Amino acid sequence: MIRFENVTKKLSRKTVLDHIDFEVGAGETFVIVGLSGAGKSVTLKHMSRLMRPDSGSIFVDGEDIVSMNRSDLQRVREKFGVLFQGAALLQWMTVRENVALPLREHTKLSDAEIMKRVDEKLDLLHLEDAGEKFPSDISGGMQKRVGLARAIILNPQIVLYDEPTSGLDPVTSRRIDEVMVDMRERLGITSVVVTHDLHSALAIGSRIMMLHEGRIVENAPPAEFIKSKNATVQSFLESQYITKKGKWEELIYGQV
Amino acid sequence: MCYPVRSAERTGARIIQLLHNIGHAMIMLMEAVWFSRLAFGPRSRRETMTQMYVTGIKSLPVITVVALFIGMILALQTGLELQRYGQEKYIGSAVAVVMIREMGPFMSALIIAASVGSAIAAQIGTMVVSEEVAALEVMSINPNRFLVVPRLVALVIMMPLLAVYTNILGILGGAVVGTTQLDVSFRAYMDNALDIAHNKDLYVGLLKAFIFGIIIATVACHQGFMTTEGAVGVGRSTRRSVVVSFLVILVIGYMITRLFYI
């Protein structure tokens, strides 16, 4: 569904992505992990062409998006929903207006139909009472869920999540994880998740890729990922108290 | 590398960056002009009206005070000189000509650049650093149509109206000084002021205000979109927006005056 071929990107003379190749299959929950500055968010931004690579190709459903013109790019972007790290909600709009925005811009639905669909998504994400509030009046966790509601309002095929649980308490983080798993199971959405949170990655991922200094050091299903012999992966796992024989092997419900 | 070469390299890089920025701003403006036909369409009407309210109505208190005092200062300074030659009866003409040709459009543009332009740069800059503009792009919503068009249209409509308002208030401010301190009757002052004001002065003044509106919107939106580096970057964009707008307004204002009056 998404394929990176030999992608390289430099920012301020630093190589952020160094000839990386990988593929995300349809229906997968593909998790990208790594230390800060490893190139995770840059990889995610390349998928929706918010950034262009210096060299290499990126394919979405077989179409190279790197040199695509604006109208074709718009067509491809309609396949995507993106949850940004800070939710990126428009501050002068209410929660309901934020979620309705893609429908107002891209469909000719009546106001009543738009509100019906918005309320469905708000219900799905347990945001029934937040519709008339402004983003500044709700918590970070609720803002993330509103961002997610907006990302899925047009029923995209692919959802990109940039640090969906960063800055959230553990309970809210697990709730966001459950929503992501639920969406994959109920709607068959392909997900790409960038996170530092290995617990979340192991819980929801069908495949985990680790980036380190712009290179892929591991790309495997969770059960294999935690057994990786790569020293960087091992050190990353140990930093979050995850061991090869820990209970996490039993808790990988992302594969269920 | 020796110092002169490094210095030349830096200067060259700055010139290239400047040309790049001007090109980017012009492309943004052209795209916004193309989309401006949608400014009062169902998707943008509310935002355009909001921006017109912010630009026009919310700026009235400060413009009122500034315009009145500019008129009063003009009348006082010019009137005192005219009084030495016994020509204070012409004070109405002097104030009207200066206000309509120059000070009306110019002062209202400076006030709007400092208040509305800086707010536009700060708002768009904050949206850039908090990824709201990126969110619009991935939702296939053109940020130029969504953000620039309502602000551009609001400014080009409201600036000429504000310039006319500034002219009227400035002339009335001059009348206050003329009647209370220079012993010129209100009737004589106004007759004099209206006699000297030609249609051409009014049209050129309105043309200036219209162009100043385009300048303020373009500079402010462009500086907002160029924002990087978080809160510090938003502050830098806001300051640059005001400084660049002031400079461009001065230069373009001079060129329009030269074009129509020499």
pLDDT recorded at residue A243: 62
Looking at per-residue pLDDT, the higher value among A189 and B69 belongs to B69
The mean pLDDT value for B131-139 works out to: 91
Classify residue A134 as exposed, middle or buried by CB count within 10 Å of its CB (0-12, 13-18, 19+): middle
Euclidean distance between CA atoms A242 and A101, whole angstroms: 41
- For the whole model, what pTM was predicted? 0.83
| pLDDT over 90, % of chain A | 20
CA–CA dist B71, A221 (Å, integer) = 76
Asked if the C-beta of B135 comes within 8 angstroms of chain A's C-beta atoms, the answer is yes
A161 inside 8 A of chain B by CB: no
Give me the mean pLDDT over the B51-57 stretch.
91
What contacts A124, CB < 8 A, 6 or more positions away? A149, A179
Q: What is the mean pLDDT of residues B6-35?
A: 90
What is d(CA B37, CA A111) in angstroms, rounded to the nearest whole number? 23
Residue B230 near residue B122, CB atoms below 8 Å: no
A253: pLDDT strictly greater than 60: no
Least confident of A33-42, B20-29, B98-107: A33-42
Mean pLDDT value of segment A214-241 = 82
DSSP state, residue A65: -
Residue B257 reports pLDDT greater than 70: yes
A109, pLDDT greater than 60: yes
Question: Helices B118-129 and B230-261, interaxial angle, to 10°?
Answer: 140
pLDDT at A194: 92
Least confident of A44-48, A99-103, B11-15, B39-43: B39-43
Helices (H) and strands (E) in chain A, counts: 9, 10
Q: What is the mean pLDDT of residues A26-50?
A: 88
- On average, the pLDDT of chain A sits at 85
Closest-CA distance of chain B to residue A251, Å: 34
Euclidean distance between CA atoms A216 and A105, whole angstroms: 38
Residue B119 CB partners (closer than 8 Å, separation 6+): B54
Q: Ramachandran region of residue A188, left (φ > 0), alpha (ψ -120 to 50) or beta? A: left
Look at chain B and report how many structural domains it folds into: 1
Residues of chain A contacting residue B139, judged by C-beta atoms under 8 Å apart = 77, 101-102, 105-106, 150
Terminal CA-CA length for chain A = 22
The structure tokens listed for B28 are: 């943004």
> What integer pLDDT is reported at residue A256 of this predicted model?
36
Asked if the model's pLDDT at residue B196 lies above 80, the reply is: no
What confidence score (pLDDT) does residue A242 get? 67
Kindly report the nearest CA distance between residue A130 and chain B, in angstroms.
20
- Best mutation target among B140, B141, B234 (most A Cβ atoms within 10 Å) is B140
| pLDDT given at position B190 | 86
Cβ contact B130–A105 (<8 Å)? no
How crowded is residue A229: how many other Cβ atoms within 10 Å of its Cβ? 7
What would the pLDDT profile of A85-108 be if each residue is shown by its tens digit? 888 899 989 999 999 999 998 888
User: Please, which pLDDT band fits residue B1 given cuts at 50, 70 and 90?
Assistant: low
Of B130, B132, B138, the CB nearest to A48: B138
Quick: pLDDT tens for B157-193: 999 999 999 999 999 999 998 888 888 888 888 888 8
- CB within 8 Å: A88 and B134: yes
Does A193 score more than 60 pLDDT?
yes
Q: Is A85 on the interface with B (CB under 8 A)?
A: yes
Is the pLDDT score of A17 beyond 80? yes
pLDDT at residue A221 is higher than 80: yes
Interface test with A, best of B139, B146, B225, B228 (most A CBs within 10 A): B139
Full residue range of the structural domain in which residue B37 is found:
3-261
B134 touches chain A (CB under 8 A): yes
Confidence label for B209 from pLDDT (cuts 50, 70 and 90): very high
pLDDT at A3 over 50: yes
Long-range CB pairs of A171-177, under 8 A, 24+ apart, other chains included: A172/A141, A173/A197, A173/A200, A174/A200, A174/A203, A175/A141, A176/A141, A176/A144, A176/A145, A176/A148, A177/A203, A177/A204
A188-194 mean pLDDT: 89
Residues of chain B in contact with residue A78, where contact means CB-CB under 8 angstroms, are: 140
- Residue B169 CA to residue B178 CA, distance in Å, equals 14
Question: Do the chains contact at A86 and B138, CB–CB below 8 Å?
Answer: no
Q: pLDDT category, B110, cuts 50, 70, 90?
A: very high
Does pLDDT of A255 surpass 50? no
